[in-house]
Structure 1
Amino acid sequence: MSEIYVGLMSGTSLDAMDAAAVRFDGPLPVLLATHTTEWPSELKGKIQQLCQSGNDEIRRLAEVDPAIARVSAQTVKSLLVKAGLTAEQVTAIGSHGQTIRHIPELGYTLQIGDPNILAEQTGITVVADFRRRDMAAGGQGAPLVPAFHRAVFTSETAHRVVVNIGGISNVSILPPGSEQSPVTGFDTGPGNLLMDYWCQQQWNTPYDKDGFHASQEPHDPILLETLLSEPFFRLPAPKSTGRELFNPAWLSSMLEGFSGLSPTTIQATLCRLTARCVADAIKQHGPETGEVFVCGGGANNKTLMTMLRKEMPNKRLGSTSDLGVDPQWVEAIAFAWLAQQNILNLPGNLPDVTGASGLRVLGGVYPA
């Protein structure tokens, strides 16, 4: 029998907890079932507060850490019911946890959601805390999904890029037959994070469905160049980022002097920023690229996909569904795969991507 793993993912966008039951027994992972749990609004607010410095953080962390674990456990239980699986049939859960700090230049990253509680309440072995071993070896601890992208999406003949657009965007540049070739991967900058925030502020909606608001007016070229003046965009790879940089305060500072722009123009410009940063990264680090496949929530944003096509007119652009993997579930599947790598005592990082001194088995194991 093939082994079944569960991947748990809650990203920078903080939209929901995603869970995927996955079987690995061929060139492509087999997605058995999925389940999404929206964050309770009160808990989501507490997580957002923890993402920034504040008073009494240790007490608030002690409250939120187990609360996330309990939501994770309930999500897994609901997933098992959907899949018709028992806990005994699952080898392990790969839990990303919720990132509340990621400051690689200080050698610091923290994902919370107590894996002890998750193992106790599900009766399934948990693999968690994937990033810190890579960081201990001198790496950024992120992005980690390029190792999965290489294993699943590499072509023997085509130069490919997989673009993951969640709260933050990252690219995996995959040369043909890249088991023998180095893979480049890094965060390019904001993905949906700033667009989601702007939607919440202007229209009281959680995100820009289908990119509707961003499609109403053209972007503003001057504002775009102002946004692109952020030094992060000029840093060499490896590099990674998060809410610590791209947050409401950053956006407010960039919008000073642009009070005459309409909310839809600003939304269009934020959308173009995401597309431009992805395209610039591919142009600089993967000029031979012929095929670009998008995953994550950004794959569902029609306006963003249109802007990506405008930025990369000579490349084939699609989503990972063209390669047989649902773009909405790539990250959750990736953490199921990372759990399997750990259980098999195989490395889960790519030193060329993270900057670590070598390959490492990632994650700590919390037995059922």
Structure 2
Amino acid sequence: MRARAKWLLGSLAVVLAASGGGYAVTAQPQQEGAGKSGQHGAGLPPATAPVQRGDLGSGLRVEGTLGYAHERKVGAAGPGVLTWVAGEGTAVERDGRLYEVNGRAVRLMYGSTPVYRPLKAGDKGEDVKQLKRNLQALGHGTGLDPEDGTFTAGTATAVKRWQKAHKMPQTGEVAKEDIAFAPGPQRVRRNDSAVGDEPGPGKPVMTLTGTERIVRFQMDAAKAGAAKTGEQVSVRLPGGATVTGKIDSVGGAAGPDEKGDGGGPGGGDKKAKVEVVVALDKPAEVGAPDQSPVSVGLTGETRKGVLSVPVNALLALAGGGFGVQVVEDGRAREVKVEPGMFGNGRVEVTGDALKEGMQVGIPRL
């Protein structure tokens, strides 16, 4: 047998770079004599594993956090003292109270345009349409045209009905301090102010989210290509249960990695991160608490019906390239291979002399 090839375990840097879908393999020099053993005659390896044919996935598992969708902060629309606030974890639906200032309730209405002015007769705009839709949904706006963005006399009448239902002065106008628009039902994630505080500019009253459960995790920006919008994923919950979901968005800024290389403040490169959000297929079935740690399995690329061997079966051949050590009839021989995709501790290999079921050498761990 020609000069012994070197086992790649410990000397092969396998870089699973997700950028562009490529995978690079770099062989690094070993010390002379490495990989030899006086306990295995005729060059036999200490252990073997079979060449397998099947599907190979390049998926990876990342750590994430269970949360709720669309986090946003809500501030008071006017001066005063906070006299009541919905508790953390409370779900608030249309017309429900979020908080009170000077005893005056701020109620949730559905809409994407925020409240930026009082609404009164003659006003026009998307916020007027949103108000009309909410008044109709609450049973106060019979006959209103929700596609007409004009605050009409009929709108004022509907507002008075709504005000009467809450024992408010029936002015027919909606003050900025009366409502807050949000896209749908909201959940109070955190109270940023307490009863007795005086909310003001730049001082939010509370942090809200949607009520739909999601998962967030971060990835290095350079590897974010491994996560694709719409891709199916699995999520392992606390306790071991697994649920499914789809990647809803990729690329929200998550800030740099502050860990560096462990050399103290400012050590190492700060890697840019992106946030990935997973929408769960059946969010109502997830009962784990907010901010629970979860594990997300990314599918990645899948190769169908390929030959693969354990990653540590690869050899750096003395003449260049890579191979495996095939063991047959008590003898070992080197077979040159071309490594392909890596996944789940295995590597795709192609070679004319390689067949399914062959035993290849691996170092004993």
TM bucket (normalised to shorter chain) is under 0.3
So what's the TM-score if we normalise by structure 1? 0.20
So what's the TM-score if we normalise by structure 2? 0.20
Structure with the bigger RCO (C-alpha within 8 Å, sep 6+) is 2
Q: Which has more strand, going by share of residues?
A: 2
Which structure is larger by alpha-carbon Rg, 1 or 2? 2
